[in-house]
Amino acid sequence: MNPSIKTHGFKIINSNEINELNNLKRYITNFLSNKFKLNNKDPDDVLNNIHNYANLITDRQANDLVLETLKELSDKFDFSEIVYQSFGEEIRNLLGPDLHAQKNNNIVFQSPNSNRYSELHSDAPPNSEFELVVWVPLVNCYGTKSFFMVPLEDSFDLIKKYKSKNFSNWNEFKSKALEKANHFEINYSQALIFWTGMIHGSLENKTNESRWCLNVRYKNLFAPCGQHDPLTYYRIFRKSVVTDLALSKKW
């Protein structure tokens, strides 16, 4: 059975339109090519091998490069809009026509052998339990370059046991979670969409390629916002006709 949000808490989906995502990928590639004076402008080659081209030795250098890239993109691209253009049908089906989107653009980067992998965690809380995460790789991801997710029932079971102090230490909990985890192969033009209550993470990237992905969050406009402040964390992304009428009430 193919995983679904209802049965597994996650799903891999294919894009229905990829032009804007292609534009973003090309723009990042050109920015990096110019910055590091590369003759090669093949997006997959530049992104996958940026740790070599940029001679990234430390995590600090990698982080600075990502921050600089985000700054370059900030007033030119809206990741929530791009991801919605590519994967919007599924998001709309799951959350409805009234949507909040995360305010800030967010890139997750992991170079080979970096210690900056994402430790096992679930996003909610502090994030809203009414929120979906759309994880969009800009390069093909496989093995330790990718991402893992513990299916819904296993996530519930592990969190329950963790709270009941059934594990003597973090490593015991983590190895049980990894036994249950699904490790994904996701290609560019696909996305992993998942519910914020899921246990997930990434491993140390043992491949010889860098991972670049976008991370965008949506929730229904009227749903609780978890522990985040609605004004600083989200922005109104889509409004239905009825919501427009209700908000503009003049009587």
Partner 1 sequence: MVEEAYVLLDATRSTPQIIQHQIIRNFADECDLKISFYGAEFRGCESAHMQLKQYVEEKKINNFLLYSIYQFYDSSNGFDIDFLEYILLKEKNIFFAAEKISVKNLEILENLKNELKIAHINLKNRNS
- Size of interface with partner 1, in residues (CB under 8 A): 15
- Of positions 57, 236, 242, 245, contacts partner 1 by CB under 8 A: 236
Compute the least distance from the CB of residue 102 to partner 1, in Å: 14
Among 231, 241, 250, 251, binds partner 1 (CB under 8 A): 231
Q: What are phi and psi of 84, to 5 degrees?
A: -70, -35
Q: Can residue 232 be called a binding residue for partner 1 (CB under 8 A)?
A: yes
Whole-angstrom distance, CA of residue 212 vs CA of residue 73: 14
**What part of residues 43-72 is at the interface with partner 1 (CB under 8 A)?**
none
8 Å CB contact between 155 and 236: no
Q: Is 197 in the site for partner 1 (CB under 8 A)?
A: no
Does residue 235 belong to the site contacting partner 1 (CB under 8 A)? yes
Least distance (Å) between residue 50 CB and partner 1: 31
**Least gap, CB of 122 to partner 1 (angstroms):** 18
Kindly identify the residues of this chain, within the stretch 19-48, that bind partner 1 according to CB under 8 A. Answer: none
b or e along 188-223 (b: 16 or more beta carbons within 10 Å of the residue's beta carbon)?
bebbbbbbbbbbbbbbebebebbbbbbbbbbbbbeb
CA distance 230 to 218: 12
Work out how close the CB of 159 gets to partner 1 at its nearest, in angstroms, rounded to a whole number.
Answer: 21
Nearer to partner 1, 96 or 230 (CB): 230
User: What would the x/- binding string for partner 1 be over residues 85 to 114, using CB under 8 A?
Assistant: ---------------x--------------
> Is position 238 an interface residue for partner 1 (rule: CB under 8 A)?
no
What is the C-alpha end-to-end distance of the chain, expressed in Å? Answer: 52
For position 229 contacting partner 1 by CB under 8 A, the verdict is yes
Name the residues that contact partner 1, by CB under 8 A.
100, 221-226, 229-232, 235-236, 239, 247
